[in-house]
Structure 1
Amino acid sequence: MQGNDPEERATGEPATADGVDEAFFARAVDALSDGALAVDGTGTVVYANPALGEALGRSVETVVGRPLSAVLPGGPVAADDPAARLAAGGPVALDGAVFDVAVREDGRRRWLSASFSAVEFAGEAVAVGFVRDAAEREAELARYKRIIETVDDGIYVLDRNFTITEVNEEVVSLTGYGREELVGEHASLLAGEDLLERAADASLELHDSDREAATIVSEIVTKDGETVPIETRFSLYPFADDSYGQLGVVRDISDRVQSERTLRALHDSTRGLLAVESRPGVTRLVVDTAVAVLDLSGAAIYLVDPDATALCPSAVAGGGGGLDESLAALEPDGSLPWRVFVEGEQAIVDADAGDGPGTGTGLPIDAGLCVPLGDHGVFVAAVDDTAAIDADTETLVGLLAASAEEALSRLDREHEVRRRDDRLERQNRRLRRLDELNTMIREIDQTLVEAQSIDEIGDAVCERVVASERFAFAWVGEPTPADGTVEPRSWAGADPRYLDDVAPATGDADEPAATAAATGTATVVADVGAGLGGEPWRKAALARGFRSAIAVPLSHDDIAHGVLAVYATRPDAFAELEAVFAELGETIANAMSAADTRRALLTDTRTVLGFRVDADDDVLGWFARTVGGPVEVEGVVPQADGAVRVFFHAADAEPAATRAAAAASLVVESLDAVARRGDDSLYEAVVVGPTVLTAVADRGAAIRTARASAEAVRFEVELPDGADVRRFVSALRSRHPDAELVSKTASERPARTSTEFRAEFQRRLTDRQREVLRVAYLRGFYEWPRESTAQEVADALDVSQPTVSRHLRACQRKLLGLLLDRERPGGLYS
């Protein structure tokens, strides 16, 4: 590099970068606001821009060609001299270096900041420097210094030899040493050898890793010889000579250490709550811990007494502020403890704020805390002055209160567990009793399956009931609507003379069987000995040793078959068994209904009864009166949901009137016109309310005919031979009191064997129908899924598909006619 002008120094073609030549770069550097210079390997300034001259207060001509030491003089130490570093290591030694240099201007010194980078130009190493006024940096440093001095934590700087080079005022305050006593001293003045070794190891780890900071908890020794627990967080700090020291932040953690010690002591004390088995024991341990560990002047716990509706003192300790054994219960008068308990929020007791003794708090203390204990009560902590209640105090008192609440809740849970265990034991005893009863019921169920008549069922049930040692006597009776009495039909047990003694009084509603029959609900008498004066049946029962009784109606689907009464020799023998016996009564009634149905199906000889019911007492009569003509019932089909489908003709009624009547009815859910037959129509109505027809069918009878007019509903029913006609009529009148028996005749059901049935069916078919039916059957037309379609059957017979369908439907109609024909005995609904 020969000349000062970049163009004169250039040799050959100008160097370019992306088409831009040296002259352009020279002009660009000349335009910089910061001073710029280039120094070759000999230490000579070979280039300077105008801004450098302005920064130095000299012309550029007096700078270029001069030694670097003359342009930028060194600092107070050799390490601060850029010329010396350049001479020692060449331009590369200045790469990344920053120097503070002083210049004279108008007789005063001004500081500049110079930063260097090493570059290669025309095959030679060159140091390029940029110079700017250091006033802004000084101002920034001053700001940082002010910030450091105002922070609450101590800040220090150590060199690589652990010599203190800088501290802020907080370090001075923490250690008791003056700044001049600390700066320049070794860190061992404040820390022991062990701490310094830990710090050195941590510094080495920071240097060799990507971590930026390390934290050490330790202690330092103050000028007065006291030990202060501290937490130090530090990072590495680079110096100008490429060495590293420490920049650290020191925090006094005396309060935290004390809190931790208190928490440990609190934990150790409250851990004993796990072994306490009583509420007084819990409260005593808590208040003693509060005074001993938290250094309170007094403590007390009030627990809720639900019976007295008050907060009652459970334990007191310390005696501070009047908290002693003389504490009285607090009534729910809106005092401070009650507000805390109800609202669930702690409160500060402050005499200066009007919460002192005699001002409505209900507490004899001047200052303290009142903390809720959930649903259990409140915890009161007394202090000497409200100034002693800081955040830490509130936290520690809150923790102790939470421990007390949890311990009290634990005792409640354990108490509840014991109660649950007792309850489970009682339930187990009850389950054992129920198991015995279920065994009896299973045996009764088996008997019900085998019994062939209602009387057999009654006898078998009574025998099975008294076979259990729990029950002494049982009987089944049937109410007599005419006089309101209950007639015994079956009985078993120790002393059946009881029925002789009470027979005249069974119409009295006081006797359990009579009460159950009259009300239709189970009746339990826990103690027969109670109420002897007003209920004569009790004397008869006690004379036989009966001490308790139960009576349940034998009813299923609103069909009443009587009542079952059971007696035991000990009081309260039927506790919790009412539902079981009620279900048993329904099962027995169901079996009796089934027995009636079986008898009706198996008996050929029938008794035909004719009845008349007032039209106002049945929906069919109302319908006939509304449409203005008689209603002829074709058939009745019950539904699973309790509704019934009624198929009927209303020959004298217009279709519109029939539909209007159905729409106006509350019990007719829907009405469909099924078929038109001449001038008449067949209707299907879904009736959700009970009719006289369903009442008859529920009793196991078959309806032969039914016709309703505006005045009455007339119908005929069939009963199997041997059926109790009086009992049937009484049951019907229990639903329709105005039911009038108008006729009674005998009828013989024609017997038909299976051979006769098949012969009759064959007789009704034509030859062509028989052929089509057999081909369709054998080709799998009636399988599911179908193995042949109607078209395939037609193709096999060489006829049309509609012809096959017509013949098959005719066959099915004739078969169903044999089964459901209304002309056969069994009628509309059997």
Structure 2
Amino acid sequence: MDTVTVQSVTDDARPQVLLVGRSESVESTADGLRDAQPAFAVTTATSGERAQSIVADRDVDCVVCAEALPDTDGVTVLYAIRETYPSMPVFLYAGGGTEELASEAISAGVTDYVPTTLAEEQPAVLANRILNAVEKHRAETALEDRERRLARLIDNLPGFVYRSEDVPPRTMALVQGECEQLTGYDAAAIEDGVDWLDDVVHPDDREDVRETISERLRDGDHYELTYRIRTDAGTIKWVWDKGCGVSEDDEVVALEGFITEITDRVERRQELREYETLLETIPDGAYVLDESFCFRTINGALGELTGYERDELLGAHISTLTDADAMTDSERLRSELLSGTRDVATMEADVETADGDRFPAELRFSTLSDDAGEEFAGTAGVLRDTTERKERKRQLERQRERLAAINQLHRVLEDITVSVIETPTREEMERRVCERLVESDSYALAWIGDVDRGTRTISPSTFAGDGDGYLDEVTITADETETGTGPAGTAVRTSEPQIVGDIATEASVEPWREAALDRGFRSLASIPITHRGSVYGVLTVYSERTDAFEDRESEILDTLGDVLGHAFNAFQRKKTLMGDVLTELEFRIPELESPLAAATEERDCSIAVDRTLPAGEDEFLQYLTVEGIDADAVRELADRVDSIDRVSLLGPEESGSDHQVEVSQTAPPLTSTVAAFGGRVRSGTVRDGEFHATVELPPDADVRSILEAVREQYPDAELVAQRTTEQDAVTTGEFRSSVFEELTEKQRTALEAAYFSGFFEWPRENSGEEIADTLGVAPATFSQHIRTAERKIGDVLLEGDRDDESDEE
């Protein structure tokens, strides 16, 4: 029975020796080998079959086989082993060798032929031979493995290795790898004469390749460089070339290196440089955050916007620039990005700079993934300063608000202008104006105030809007005190509009600032309501916008003040003319400073004021009856009065010393003063240097205030009489009321001018062209006013008769 002895092997480097022989001698031979070479791990087998099995199952470094075995011979065993392991060391030992046996052993590929006596009697010699054979086999095997691995590596490399005996490389002596894929030339072409520098390297890079390699070799270094090549097809590629010199006797005789294509890498780097350049040139801040919201990359603009140095922000948390609310929004949006709900996130936040200042910004960002495109790797985004954008937006909003306000004002002005005739009372007009002004969002509060001439207090008579008790809380006057130097008081005193663009900073509104700001008011406008120099009140409008009353808005409000002044004057005059009961005042003004008045002291003459008519802004026509002065004296005296522009005699000059005179002059003080209170000078006479005037006023007129106003113009004026009178029910009351109710102011002015100019006399004392010229209108316009007035008077006179005739039919 075959026996196998296996020695425990703990060192993989120990030679594994299989000793095959007969049972009676194999163990003793094995012991001799073990004693001679303890490093051997010796295994024994007593049959050829068992020996082949052991070789197949174990790592065996050497087989020593006897020539004669129980089941076969040693040569047969060696042949079988060589079929599987052609290079393994095998020894054959025999008792008496013959040339025939030696020949067969050699044919079987025996490593050494050993006599039996050597194996049995000189185990140390045998052990030494075995050790040499094993070491040689191991070295050859390692070299073969290295060459095999190197060949496999070269086959798998994305490029090729080369050897060139030219320094720098021109003709390649050896090329292995993907040469043709890279250059378009196969290895044979490269080795057979393609000049690497002249035929392959790009012309613009040849000199740099030559100088760089030569310089590195002189310094004894490896060389590593990047350059372009031109393939056999003319394609330009980028390559990376790394190599070293092969030296003999301290002289470089060849080059060995590796070349691989890096076109994609170079293009990516170029793209990256372009991206980096782009990021550094854009005015917006660009950044990359890691998974923990810390800055991983930033561009220069982000540092400039925030005032931080690059090193201060890199690694810092984004909360360095934003507050907790912004972080909450950012985390929420990042979750939506990761869940696929959105591709790009946009949010607004206030950014805090290194100096502690803050500015509004828009942050737009998306997520990043790892190289495999699977794992979340942070976010990349852009931070944009939106200060200018928000300011432009605010400007557009202000422009829209201003446009809306202007449109609203136009509508109010149009409505009030049209409704002047239809609105029955001043109170209704005031209410309508205030309500229309606050209909839109342009204005928050509007009120109209009257001035008490005694106390100089401005009291709101009408208001509309959400004042929340503001008008009850404040006191406004028109005097020189602190409460009178505000917008409303100043507007009344100067008859000029007063604009406050910012209530928070304007000094003139100090007494009312807190109350106004508490109610959201930011600007206001106070517009005097005037007509022909008389102030009828003040319109004040508040807005929640700063600088709300600039340019066009102020102009329209100013026009609205003029329209209201005209309307209020008409209301007062209508009240005077149409009322059945009037207050009549008689004034005496001694020592009237006028050449005409002085003439009445020197001569036995008098001047009666028959009618005063408005003829334009601050211009009036007065119709006088002069008795006791000839025509030339009237002209001479009138020329000495500065306020008289023109004097015209109505009728022939041959009429002696009694004349009807038309005088054009700037605003007569008494007429303007009385008109401000809704009254009119019914008659006036100058005799002996004194002026006596009778004034008609509404029954509720404030006589004390009127007297004070008259004395502001004529300090010596005396109130001679005050009485209440009733107008004639038919001729003066109802008839005049119905006539004047039908006529417009221009029609009435034209009618009165025609009447007192003798237009209706025959022959006419003045033509229509002359009267039109006096009034400053076209003849056609004057003719139209006269015809319309005549028709309206006819309607009033004959309306009843016409109705009667209709009934009879």
> What TM-score range do you get, normalising by the shorter chain?
0.3 to 0.5
Choose 1 or 2 for highest CA Rg.
2
TM-score by length of 1: 0.37
TM-score by length of 2: 0.37
